[in-house]
Structures are given as C-alpha cells and as structure tokens.
Amino acid sequence: MQSQDSVIKIYDRWGKIYDIIFKHIFSEGRDVGSRMLEVKPGENLLEVGIGTGLSLPLYPRHCRIMGIDISPKMLEKASEKVTEHRLTNIQLELMDAQNMSFPDNSFDCVTACYVVSAAPDPLKVVSEIRRVCKPGGRIVFINHFKSHNPILAAFETMLNGVCKKFGWEATLDLDALLEASNMTLLATEKVNMFDYWRAVLCINSDK
C-alpha cells in the first residue's frame, strides 16, 4: 500500500503535465460520468479527486459543486479553470478523500474520476463517499477495474508494481468493492481508449 505522502508527491509532479497527457485520453469518461449523474437544479455535487479540474466545465451551473483533492499542485490548476470559465458555483478544498471533513449526508450526488485506484486505501475512500452522500444519492466512479478475463487479469497483476509508481492500482476489483460497500449498481459503461476504463453508476443504499 502506498503512503499518503507518496501519493501527494506523485500527483504534485503530474500537476504540471496532467492536462497535456490525459485531457483527451480520458475525455470520454468525463463526458459519460457527467451525463450519468443527471445533476438536478439546486443539488449539491461533490467531486472527489478533482485533479486539475478537467471535468468542471461539463457540469451544469444550476447546481453547487465542491471539488476536493489531496494534491496542492493539481488544485492550483483546477483553480485556474474556475477563474477562466467564471464558474461561480464551484468551491475547491485541499482534502484527503480518506478522511473528509464534511458532515454525514452532505451531498445529493458524488463522483470520483480516476481516483479510487490512486488512493492508498480504496475501501476507505468509498466508505467516506457513502458517508457524505445522502441515502439514495447517486455515486459515479470512473476508473479502471480488474478484468474478468483471467489472462488480462494476470497481465494486470504483473504490471501492477509499475502502475503504482505512476500513482494508481491496476488490480482493483469492482465486484469486491461493491459487495464491501453496500452500494446498488445501476449501470456500467466502457469508456476511453480500448474500452479499458469503466463508468459505474451506483445508488447509495440505506445506511
């Protein structure tokens, strides 16, 4: 398991070049994720792991958005986008997704784009997401999850050590995550290059 400090250092380094490398590669996932949420007027939305804020212009302006990230450098880039696009409905906070400071049931919907597998403890992140999301609220994950194909799964396991050096886990199991977290799966959609990532829509089951 990676330490929190190592994750911060990795993503602070990514902050300078993240948009150059990942803006177009991950654009389909961000589009699908924002559509899946179906944010309604006046709702409170939390984006966990806001990163450089690439998803911010996709959200409707009739909702209130809180974006958190553990990397100061990534948040700096997100803040620049808030200013550039004049997004007055968005607030950004430096915060650890594994230990959020929000009260229980603070948000109508939550999204986590490419972040759960980057956390030192993915289950803790999902537990915190459920805690701050209202019962019956919508939760969307955009992430790579371990393949059900045994050959691909073995290959992912072999590459996992290399992936961790770049800041993410390649063997996160969606089925185990859902079972441990008591969320109801509504829909999944393969996204991005080679359909290697998935957009996953869940409902926060009663706590």
Q: What is the DSSP string of 37-56?
A: H-PPTT-EEEEES-TT-TTG
CB 114 within 8 A of CB 29: yes
Q: Describe the crossing of helices 174-181 and 122-132 by its angle, rounded to 10 degrees.
A: 40
Residue type, 195: D
Domain range summary for the chain, segments of one domain joined by +: 4-204
Residue 9, exposed/middle/buried by CB under 10 A (0-12, 13-18, 19+)? Answer: middle
pLDDT reported for residue 120? 83
Tokens of 206: 């009663």
DSSP 3-state of 64: strand
pLDDT reported for residue 100? 98
Residue 200, beta-bridge partner list: 141, 188
- Sign, CA dihedral 143-2-106-75, equals negative
Residues with Cβ within 8 Å of 9's Cβ and at least 6 positions away in sequence, in order, are: none
Pick the CATH number of 4-204 from 3.40.140.80, 3.20.20.70, 3.40.50.150, 3.40.50.300: 3.40.50.150
pLDDT reported for residue 115? 87
| DSSP secondary structure of 128-162 | HHHHHEEEEEEEEEEE----SSHHHHHHHHHHHHH
Residue 184, beta-bridge partner list: 203
pLDDT reported for residue 15? 67
**Mean pLDDT, contiguous 10-residue spans, the chain (207 residues):** 68 77 88 94 96 94 96 94 95 96 98 87 93 97 75 55 52 81 92 83 85
Tokens of 135: 């019962």
CB 58 within 8 A of CB 76: no
pLDDT reported for residue 155? 46
pLDDT reported for residue 52? 95
